[in-house]
Chains A and B, each alone.
Chain A
Amino acid sequence: DVKVTQSSRYLVKRTGEKVFLECVQDMDHENMFWYRQDPGLGLRLIYFSYDVKMKEKGDIPEGYSVSREKKERFSLILESASTNQTSMYLCASSYQIAARETQYFGPGTRLLVL
């Protein structure tokens, strides 16, 4: 079974702090994604990566950056957290983009910014 793990289930941070959210997948997937999930808005794509050291902006990249130094690990970085970044963050991975393969999701990190 594919397993996508996220470093924390819950995080509480203060405005202005630098925040790292970590995601690891164990199936040698090429592609990894970060979404945020908000009530009434569904899931929105922040960034994705199709290879090590490669990254592409999604629909809402402002205020975020990402890092993919190893194939299995994809990090989401909030350089200076703000209260409007309070949300559920979901990481996903998939094998191939071209074939529109299934995306497998982690359990999510619920971030509260005070």
Chain B
Amino acid sequence: GENVEQHPSTLSVQEGDSAVIKCTYSDSASNYFPWYKQELGKGPQLIIDIRSNVGEKKDQRIAVTLNKTAKHFSLHITETQPEDSAVYFCAATGGGGADGLTFGKGTHLIIQP
């Protein structure tokens, strides 16, 4: 089934700097790659997603890139702000015989003032 690896597990950046989180996946048939942000005490919320027919997608300070050949995708956050502090999860379709998402283990992003 699908396997999603996510790095790093913890990322600390200065406010205003950029943050990059990287994921790799194993199932070449996967075609949908969402990113979720989970704040303390809340469920994950979708922040951006990309489908396999595009290589890059941007929404204000957030962008996602996809390299299907290498089977990896990345989340880029520019001009980081304190409210960006959270746990971020990447995910991919497929795997395990189910149509649910396969998630990475998460990245705890800490924005230092």
Contacts and interface: CB of A to CB of B under 8 A. Distances in A.
Contacts of A106: 43
Nearest to A100: B32
Nearest to B101: A103
Q: How large is the interface on A (under 10, 10 to 19, 20 to 34, 35 or more residues)?
A: 20 to 34
Interface string B70-110: 00000000000000000001010101111111111110000
B30 to A, nearest CB: 9
Best-buried of A48, A90, A103 by chain B (most CB within 10 Å): A103
A42 B105 contact: yes
Nearest to B44: A105
A90 B43 contact: yes
Majority-rule SS of A interface residues:
strand
B1 interface: yes
Interface residues of B, number: 30
Contacts of A45: 96, 98, 100-102
B51 interface: yes
A35 interface: yes
Contacts of A92: 43
A83 interface: no
B43 A108 contact: yes
A92 B45 CA distance: 10
Nearest to B33: A100
Contact of A59 (B36, B44, B93, B95): B95
A56 B98 contact: yes
Interface in A7-47: 31, 33, 35, 40-45
Interface of A: 4, 31, 33, 35, 40-45, 48, 50, 56-59, 90, 92, 97, 100, 102-108
Given A42-B105, A102-B49, A105-B36, 15 more contacts: A35-B100, A43-B89, A43-B101, A48-B98, A48-B99, A57-B98, A58-B100, A102-B46, A103-B46, A103-B100, A105-B43, A105-B45, A107-B41, A107-B43, A108-B42
